[in-house]
């Protein structure tokens, strides 16, 4: 049986949803849960490593319905790591451990923060899950 899924990624979540007739038929017990668990494993592996490991450790599965699972992150800055940040006025000054954003009489040139490009790890994880979805579904059918 060919599995018909929609796997979408947004800044901080991956949605796995059954489509068409598959949404109304009975699937093997645990097939969607297996897909969601594998998606969680993939996105955790692909998350960039930081000093606190917060981005890697705060992913979870939301069990919305039997036909729809959402893998989401509780980390507040996941969107910015995924999509990147454009240039903005201001620069970080390590001595005072702050970012200058307002010009002053003594320092009229506050500089520009260059921003950084996105990592696109959530999008890559969704693509990887799409590739593995048929194999995971077939394994659950044959069990």
Q: What is the pLDDT of residues 54-89, one digit of tens each?
A: 999 999 998 777 778 889 999 999 999 999 999 988
Q: What pLDDT is stored for residue 3 in this prediction?
A: 58
**Domain range summary for the chain, segments of one domain joined by +:** 5-84+119-141
Distance CA 90, CA 136 (A): 48
User: Per residue in 84-104, pLDDT tens?
Assistant: 999 988 888 889 888 888 888
CA distances from 43 to 27, 59, 86, 123 (A): 24, 8, 24, 9
Question: What is d(CA 104, CA 107) in angstroms, rounded to the nearest whole number?
Answer: 5
pLDDT of residue 59: 93
Q: What does the pLDDT average to over 34-48?
A: 92
- Res 117: pLDDT: 94
Q: Round the average pLDDT of the chain to a whole number and report it.
A: 84
Over residues 114-121, the mean pLDDT reads: 92
Query: Coil, strand or helix: which one is 93?
Result: strand
Beta strand 68-73 with 13-18 is antiparallel
Of the pLDDT bands very low, low, confident and very high (cuts 50, 70, 90), residue 118 is: very high
């Amino acid at each position: 049986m060919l599995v018909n899924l929609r796997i979408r990624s947004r800044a901080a979540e991956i949605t796995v949803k059954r489509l068409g007739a598959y949404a109304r038929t009975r699937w093997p017990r645990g097939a969607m849960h297996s897909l969601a668990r594998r998606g969680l494993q993939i996105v955790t592996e692909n998350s960039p490593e930081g000093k606190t490991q917060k981005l890697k450790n705060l992913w979870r599965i939301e069990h919305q319905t039997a036909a729809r699972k959402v893998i989401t992150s509780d980390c507040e800055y996941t969107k910015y790591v995924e999509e990147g940040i454009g240039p903005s006025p201001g620069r970080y000054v390590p001595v005072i451990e702050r970012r200058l954003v307002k010009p002053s009489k003594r320092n009229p040139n506050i500089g520009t923060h260059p921003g950084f490009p996105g990592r696109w790890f959530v999008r890559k994880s969704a693509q990887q899950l799409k590739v593995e979805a048929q194999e995971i579904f077939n394994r659950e059918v044959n069990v």
